[in-house]
Amino acid sequence: SAVISQKPSRDICQRGTSLTIQCQVDSQVTMMFWYRQQPGQSLTLIATANQGSEATYESGFVIDKFPISRPNLTFSTLTVSNMSPEDSSIYLCSVEISVYGYTFGSGTRLTVV
C-alpha cells in the first residue's frame, strides 16, 4: 500500500496570509484528493488533482481560494489563500490505491488567528 508524507503537521497562521500544504506519495498514483475536516465535522472533498491537468473542484470550493499543484505522479500541494479564522480545519490528502482502497495523509491541523 502507498505511504503519504504530509507537511506541515500543524501550523498557526495570521489571517490574510497563505499556507501551502505538501503531500508526497511513495509510489506513482493517478489521482490525489484533498479534503477539509472542520472542527467536529466530517471530511469534505475539496478537489481532485490529476497530474498534467487542472484540479477539479467540488461545489463550494474555488481555485482562487484553494490553488492546487500536481507537478508529477507522486507529489501535490494545496494552498489555503487569504486565510480567515473560518479556514481553521484539518486538511488531508488521499490517494486511491489498488483494489479500491485509499490511503490518507496524517493531516495538517491549521489554526488561523
Q: What is the DSSP letter of 54?
A: P
Q: Is 19 in the site for another protein (CB under 8 A)?
A: no
Take residue 19 and report the three cell numbers written for it. 499556507
**Residues 87-106 contacting another protein, CB under 8 A:** 92, 94, 96, 99-102, 104-106
Take residue 59 and report the three cell numbers written for it. 461545489
Q: Which of the stretches 13-21, 29-37, 68-76, 80-88 binds another protein when contact is defined by CB under 8 A?
A: 29-37
Nearer to another protein, 42 or 53 (CB): 42
First-to-last C-alpha distance (Å) of the chain? 37
